[in-house]
Amino acid sequence: MIVKQIWTGNSYRNFNYLIACKETGQALAIDPLDHEKCLAAAKEAGWDITQILNTHEHRDHTGGNAALVAKTGAKILAHKNAKDKIADMARGLGAGDVIKVGKTVELEALDTPGHTMSHVCLRSHTDQPALFSGDTLFNAGAGNCHNGGHPEELYKTFSEQLARLPDDTRIYPGHDYIENNLRFTLNREPDNKRAQEMLDELKGQDPSRAYVSTLKVEREINTFFRLTSPSVIAKLRESFADLPEKPDPRTVFLKLRELRNKW
Ligand SMILES: [Zn+2]
- Among 61, 79, 119, 176, which one carries the catalytic annotation? 61
26 backbone dihedrals φ, ψ, rounded to 5°: -75, 145
Q: Report d(CA 180, CA 62) in Å as an integer.
A: 24
pTM to 2 decimal places: 0.97
The amino acid at 110: L
Of 35, 58, 79, 119, which is the active-site residue? 58
**Cβ contacts of 42 within 8 Å, gap of 6 or more:** 18, 27, 29, 48, 49
Does residue 35 carry a catalytic annotation? no
89-144 tens-digit pLDDT: 999 999 999 999 999 999 999 999 999 999 999 999 999 999 999 999 999 999 99
Task: Examine the residue annotation and report whether 146 is marked as an active-site residue of this protein.
Answer: no
- Print burial letters for 91-129: b (CB count within 10 Å at least 16), e (below 16): ebbeeebebebbeebebbbbbbbbbbbbbbbbbbeeeeb
- The verdict on whether 61 is a catalytic residue reads yes
CA of 141 to the centre of ligand 1 (A): 14
Catalytic residue (one of 56, 79, 111, 119): 56
Mean pLDDT for 223-239 is 97
Q: Is 150 a catalytic residue?
A: no
Residue in 120, 140, 230 with CA at minimum distance from that of residue 186: 140
pLDDT tens digits along 176-222? 999 999 999 999 999 999 999 999 999 999 999 999 999 999 999 99
User: Would you give the DSSP letter of residue 46?
Assistant: T
d(CA 154, CA 256): 12
